Amino acid sequence: MLKTERKGKWLEIIVPPEWNDMTIDDLFRKLWEAPKKLIYHFQMENKVLLNGNKPNWNLPLVQGNKLMVLLFEDYFGEVSPTYHEIPILYEDDHLMVFNKPAFISTHPNNIELETDTLLNAALYYLQAKGEFCNIRHIHRLDRDTTGAILFAKHSFAGAILDRMLEQRKIKRTYIAIVNGTLSSKRGTIQEPIGRDRHHATKRRVSSTGQEAITHFQVLRVDKAAKHTYIKCWLDTGRTHQIRVHFSHLGHPLAGDVLYGGGSLFKRQALHAAKLEFLHPITDEKIICHAPFIDKPPIFKGINIDEI
């Protein structure tokens, strides 16, 4: 794991042996795969120092050198901070993972009209402890879906995490309850998803839609309630993907009124139970389990730590 330390607005990185003979340019372009625009920004504004001095980005690094990167500048955006008690699963200087409750949106679509989203709550929490950072979500959860959701606290971490998500290096595992009994104990649903032209917010399986791949495994069957508890993980992240795929199979999520799942619960029975990824800066393995937080409980007899 990479040895780092925050020093004010700067991140100090002690060059490890495996970086010997790499250049700063190699780090940004090849190791971190940062966007060209962001690299230019760091280089032109002297936001990288080597042993306290402005470096030559094309000279080889030496083990033990001190690389300083300006990451933690104060940021004052237009989104208003609003208090909400949101469980935090993981936090450091670079990122946060929340356990999102139901009935709260990930971010506002209109910053003036919507002030009760997870982003508003994150800003309140951070500013209350003196952090004014450019926090933003890396992926979304539907308003009524609960569970683990990842935010970056500065643009550099955000750029790396965006790339990791695109390359399918961030694994998201969900727990869902579907109506009926599935014919297979495990499988993969590979059906493209597009907009439903008859409904503004609805999606559907469509030959002209975007690629969508959902893997699933049955956890248990509740014969009395005629429900099946499943674990699923995604290769893609389309809007309503799990909900659309299981509705297409004839097994909509319990409580999912929009996709034919009935109204047994106040929301669709879907929870982002686990998030796994390598830390964008330190390369540390991060695994977050998100406890169920519904009151009254929806998911019963499932041990999150075993997912």
Cα separations in angstroms, 121 against 28, 42, 86, 87, 269: 32, 30, 7, 11, 24
Helix (H) or strand (E) holding 125: helix 118-128
CA dihedral angle for residue 138, residue 199, residue 144, residue 240, rounded to 10 degrees? -50
Encoded tokens for 106: 């990930």
Half-sphere exposure of residue 7: CA atoms within 13 angstroms, side-chain side: 13
70 SS3 class = strand
Catalytic, out of 21, 74, 116, 142: 142
Give DSSP secondary structure letters for 146-167: EEEEEEESSHHHHHHHHHHHHT
- Which of 4, 14, 24, 20 lies closest to 64, judged by CA? 14
The angle, 0 to 180 degrees and rounded to 10, between the axes of the packed helices 155-166 and 36-44 is 160
Q: How far is 199 from 197, CA to CA, in rounded Å?
A: 6
Locate the DSSP E strands across the chain.
Answer: 4-7, 10-14, 48-50, 66-70, 88-91, 95-100, 136-137, 146-152, 171-179, 186-190, 193-195, 203-205, 213-222, 227-234, 270-278, 285-289
Number of H helices, E strands in the chain: 5, 16
94 SS3 class = coil
Told to judge if 142 belongs to the known catalytic residues of this protein, a careful annotator would answer yes
Active centre residues (catalytic): 142
